[in-house]
Chains A and B, each alone.
Chain A
Amino acid sequence: MTTLQATPPARRRRQLAPYAFIAPFYVLYALFMVVPIGAAVYLSMTDWVGLGTPEFVGLRNFADLARDTSFHKALGNSLIFVLVSLFIIVPAALLIAQALNTRGLRARDLFRVTFFLPMVISPIVIALVYSLVFDRQYGLLNSVLRALFGAGNTDWLGDPTMAKVSVSFVLLWRWVGYLTIFFLAALQAVPRERYEAAELDGAGVLRTFSAVTLPAIRPVTAFVVVTSFIGSAQLFDEPYLITGGGPGEETLTVAMFVYRSAFERQQFGYAAAAGLVLFVIVFGVSQILNRLFSIGRIS
Chain B
Amino acid sequence: MTHRIPPPPGTMSRRGLLRLGGGVGAAALLGGALSGCGRAASAEPVTSGSVNLAFWTHDQAYVDFFETAAANAEAAGDSPFRWHLAPTRAGAADVVTKTIAQAIAGRGTPDVAGLEIGAFPRFLRGEIAAELLEPLEGHIDADVRDDLLPSRTAPFTKDGHLYALDSDAPLVVYYYREPEFARVGLPTDLATWDELAEAGRRAHERHGVAIGAVAVGSDLGQVVQIFDMLLMQSGGRLFDEDGTLTIETPEAERALAFLVRGVREGFITTVSDFYGPGMQAALKSGELIGQWMATWYKIYGLMPNVPEQSGQWRIRPLPVFSDGGSRTSFTGGTGFAALTGKRNTLAGVELVTSAYLTPAEQIRRFVDLGYLPTRRSVFDDPQLLEIEDEYCGGQRMFEVYREVVDEAPVFYLSADKPILDTVLSGHLLRAYHGDSSPAEALRNAAEDFRGQTRNHD
Q: Tell whether B217 is near chain A: CB-to-CB under 8 Å.
A: yes
Tell whether, in the assembled complex, residue B25 and residue A247 are in contact, meaning their CB atoms are under 8 Å apart.
Answer: no
A59 to B416, CA, bound (A): 22
Chain B residues with CB under 8 Å of A158's CB are 216-217, 270, 272, 429, 433
Taken together as a complex, chains A and B put the C-alpha atoms of A64 and B452 apart, in Å, by 9
The answer for the CA separation of A19 and B17 in the assembled complex, in Å, is 9
**Quick one: which of A12, A34, A247, A260 has the most chain B CB within 10 A?**
A247
A135 touches B272 (CB 8 A): yes
Instruction: Tell yes or no: B100 within 8 A of A by CB.
Output: yes
A51 vs B133: C-alpha distance when bound (angstroms): 13
| Residue B311 is within 8 A (CB to CB) of chain A in the complex | no
Closest Cβ of chain B to A28, distance in Å, is 10
Chain A residues 63 to 109 lying within 8 A of chain B, measured CB to CB, are 64, 67-70
Nearest chain A CB to B132 CB, angstrom units = 7
| Identity of the chain B residue whose Cβ is nearest the Cβ of A240 in the assembled complex | B218
Contact with A along B118-150 (1 / 0, CB 8 A): 000010011110011000000000000000000
Contact A19 B25 (CB under 8 A): no
Say whether A266 contacts B122, CB under 8 Å.
yes
Say how far B221's CB is from chain A's closest CB, in angstroms: 9
Q: How far is the CB of B422 from chain A (nearest CB, A)?
A: 7
Q: In the complex, how many angstroms separate the beta carbon of A9 from the nearest chain B beta carbon?
A: 11
A137–B24 touching, CB < 8 Å: no
Interface set, chain B 8-39, CB cutoff 8 A to A: 8, 10-12, 17, 20-22, 24-26, 28-29, 32-33, 37
What string of 1s and 0s marks CB contacts (under 8 Å) between B33-56 and chain A?
A: 100010000000000000000000
Contacting residue for B429 out of A35, A60, A245, A247, CB 8 A: A247
| B452 close to A52 (CB less than 8 A) | no
Q: Mark B414-457, 1 if CB is under 8 A from A, else 0.
A: 01101100110111011001000000000000001001101110
Q: Which residues of A200-246 are within 8 A (CB) of B? A: 241-246
> Which A103-148 residues sit within 8 Å CB-CB of chain B?
131-132, 135-138
Asked if A248 meets B427 with Cβ closer than 8 Å, knowing A136-B272, A267-B456, the reply is yes
**Bound state CA distance, A225 and B293, in angstroms?**
49
Which of A241, A249, A266 interacts with B422 by CB under 8 Å? A249
Residues of A within 8 A of B216 (CB): 136, 155, 158, 247
Which A residues lie within 8 Å of B32 (CB)? 35, 39
Q: Cα distance A131–B226 when bound, in Å?
A: 20
Which of B128, B278, B430, B456 is packed against the most chain A CB atoms within 10 Å? B456
Cβ 8 A contact of B21, one of A30, A68, A242, A270? A30
The answer to whether B21 touches A248, judged by C-beta atoms less than 8 angstroms apart, is no
Q: How far is the CA of A22 from the CA of B80 in the complex (A)?
A: 59
Majority secondary structure, B binding face? helix
- Type the 1/0 row for B385-396, where 1 means its CB is closer than 8 Å to any CB of A: 000000000000
A60 and B455 contact, Cβ closer than 8 Å, known pairs A137-B281, A244-B219, A248-B427: yes
Contact status B456-A248, CB under 8 Å: no
A283 on the B face (CB < 8 A): no
Q: Are A52 and B127 touching (Cβ within 8 A)?
A: yes
Question: In the complex the two chains form, is B282's CB within 8 Å of A137's CB?
Answer: yes
Residue of B nearest to A239 (CB): B218
Known: A51-B100, A69-B448, A244-B218. A131 touches B418 (CB 8 A): no
Bound together, the chains give a CA A104 to CA B282 distance in angstroms of 50
Partner of B451, one of A47, A50, A69, A270: A69
Asked if residues A250 and B426 are in contact (CB atoms below 8 Å), the reply is yes
B21 touches A26 (CB 8 A): yes
10 closest cross-chain pairs (CB), A and B = A248-B426, A34-B25, A244-B218, A49-B126, A138-B281, A266-B125, A30-B25, A247-B429, A30-B21, A30-B24
> Would you mind naming 23 contact pairs between A and B with Cβ atoms under 8 Å apart?
A30-B22, A38-B29, A42-B29, A49-B126, A49-B127, A50-B125, A51-B131, A51-B132, A52-B37, A60-B455, A64-B454, A131-B217, A131-B218, A131-B276, A135-B277, A135-B278, A136-B272, A137-B269, A137-B270, A155-B433, A157-B272, A263-B93, A265-B125
